[in-house]
Amino acid sequence: MVDASKVVGQLLAARQRHNAPLILELDLTEGIVEGPPTDPIAAIQAMRRTRLSDIVEGLRRAARDPKVIALVAKVGGGRIALAQLQEIRDAVKHFGAAGKPTVAWAESFGELGGGTLPYYLATAFGRIHLQPSGDVGLTGVAIEERFLHDTLQKAGVDYQLTQRHEYKTAANTFTQTGYTEPHREASGRLAESIAEQVVVGVAEGRGLPEDGVRRLVDEGPYTAAEALEHGLVDELSYRDEVYGGLRKRFGDQVRLQYVGRYQRSAGNLAKRLPHPGEQVVALIHATGPIVLGRSHRTPFSGPVMGADTVAAALRAARRDDRVKAIVLRVDSPGGSYTASDTIWREVGQARAAGKPVVVSMGVVAASGGYFVSMGADAIVAQPGTLTGSIGVLGGKPVITELLGRIGVGTDSVQEGANARMFSTSLGFTEAEWARLNGWMDRVYEDFTGKVAAGRGMTRERAHELARGRVWTGADAVANGLVDELGGVERAADEARKRAGLPADAPLRSYPKTGPLERLRPPESSEDRTAAAATLRLRAWGPMADLATRLGLPAHGPLSLPGHWTIT
């Protein structure tokens, strides 16, 4: 027989647990996922990683939820980019502003290594705990770049590259042995701007003067005891002591739940499900290097933004009566000029149809990433977003000497004076070089002209800010390339305002397609399933990035210059 009293007891215990005060948890040491998965590989990779949108939306929802009483987060590692850190910082501060305690704890902020950015993230929390054996690697900001000229020369590879203009420095990787003056100037300002943001954030979070924080940065790194002495952390504690202290403060009946689980819980999910006739802001993700054709990813690398896919999503949103405004989330270093122009056109078409478009820039929205953004009604970026790089580059490696050294012969026949213009077996002729430079001038003029029109400035001013130079989001706002600082939520608020929607109008990832819909072929180029990404195999596989850097399969002429390590 079933023991009724036992069943009732279990039900009461379950109800008590469900109604218990909730402490939300975050683990920010394993990285985060930017957007919803669009293909099977992305879904597998995202299974045990938290989405940025779940963190931001979850913490904003929890700030209003009386059942949620505190937030505790494990911080450390270097797996989250600066702009994403800043979006999380904003959400944590919003949660704390509701009068709810926020606690960060770390085993170490860098163990015999830099920990500036993870520590910067931790300073958004009300209290910081550090394991007694840990360190605070507050050592500042450095940008390190590699130059391959001498290596390529030894290998017998000669690069013939041209760019518009002096700050479009991707070519320098192959043609220089170190910084040119414009390259050093631009990279130096990037490091300076990022350092300024870190100093201000740490000073505000820890209640320290900015000049004092600068001195601490110059004298770092610090042992746990030194960090405590200087006021960089509040307590030296192990994990069990951190959590034990929270339970002592709020009671043993408190329940722990990850923010991602909280955001996707049944109650919150019900509030997020669409209902007939609702008016929404569509959130369209435009992520990865920009290419012609469909968006895709490989088993070994990240997403690639296909013009056909993003354009199809913008067309579908434009034709959808429920969609009243669009937030285009751009996270891209650029790529194909023609593909970028395709997406730029669809942004303009959506605006012409009366649907405001607001761009939310992620970690990077530069070169082609800026091209697809510049026609929007407004652009919102984080202070640490890398943007601008308004310029163009092109050319090819000439590997004749390399082939000769390894015993490879080349012969050819051709019809047409320029049939071998892009062959890597020989250099450009005078006529071909003139033709390439004419193309470069045309693309640069088109790019800067559209910047001037989209941003309401003269061509002369657009050229002054362009020339291939990369800016942080903070400097881009000061120069008029970006409208304001903030994340997706700020962009959504701006889109609602421009569309005349209420402040609580939902922001929906768009288009929302199920697994079966993504598998079936689209009915036409205007079917919303045409906005689904595909899985594609590339011959270079995990060596794709190296191959690209050697000039083998380039994404396109509107690419962010250089390959940087920022520490």
Token pair, residue 442, equals 């045309």
Rounded to 10°, the helix 181-206/210-219 angle is: 110
3-class DSSP assignment, residue 102? strand
Neighbours of 253 (CB within 10 A): 11
DSSP assignment of 280-314: EEEEEEEESSEESS--EE-TTS-EEEEHHHHHHHH
- pLDDT tens, 531-542? 665 545 443 444
All residues at 6 or more sequence positions from 124 whose CB lies less than 8 Å from its CB, including other chains: 88, 89, 92, 93, 96, 102, 104, 201, 205
DSSP structural state of residue 562: S
3-class DSSP assignment, residue 270? helix
Q: Answer whether 422's CB lies under 8 Å from 494's CB.
A: no
| Domain covering 18-139+220-266 assigned CATH 3.90.226.10 in the classification | yes
Domain boundaries for CATH 3.90.226.10 within the chain: 18-139+220-266, 277-391+428-540
Phi-psi region of 70 (alpha: psi -120 to 50; beta: other; left: phi over 0): beta
Neighbours of 264 (CB within 10 A): 14
Q: Which backbone phi and psi does 379 adopt, to 5 degrees?
A: -125, 130
Q: In this structure, are strands 564-566 and 143-145 parallel, antiparallel, or unpaired?
A: antiparallel
258 has which bridge partners? 25
Give which of 307, 491, 329, 468 is closest to 387, Cα–Cα: 468
Q: What share of the chain is helix, strand, coil (3-state, %, to 5)?
A: 45, 20, 35
Catalytically active residues are 168, 367
3-class DSSP assignment, residue 485? strand
Integer angstrom CA distances of residue 388 from 433, 457, 481: 27, 15, 7
Token pair, residue 517, equals 């819909």
Low-confidence ranges of the chain (pLDDT < 50): 7-14, 535, 537-554, 563-567
Q: Answer whether 172's CB lies under 8 Å from 147's CB.
A: yes
Q: Where are the beta strands (DSSP E) in 448-517?
A: 470-472, 484-485, 507-509
The CATH architecture assigned to 277-391+428-540 reads Alpha-Beta Complex (3.90)
pLDDT (0 to 100) of residue 40: 57
Q: Answer whether 198's CB lies under 8 Å from 141's CB.
A: yes
pLDDT (0 to 100) of residue 564: 47
User: Exposure of 167 by Cβ count < 10 A (0-12 exposed, 13-18 middle, 19+ buried)?
Assistant: buried
Q: In degrees, to the nearest 5, what angle opens at C-alpha 445 toward C-alphas 440 and 562?
A: 55
pLDDT (0 to 100) of residue 543: 42
Q: Is the peptide bond preceding residue 515 cis, with omega within 30 degrees of 0?
A: no
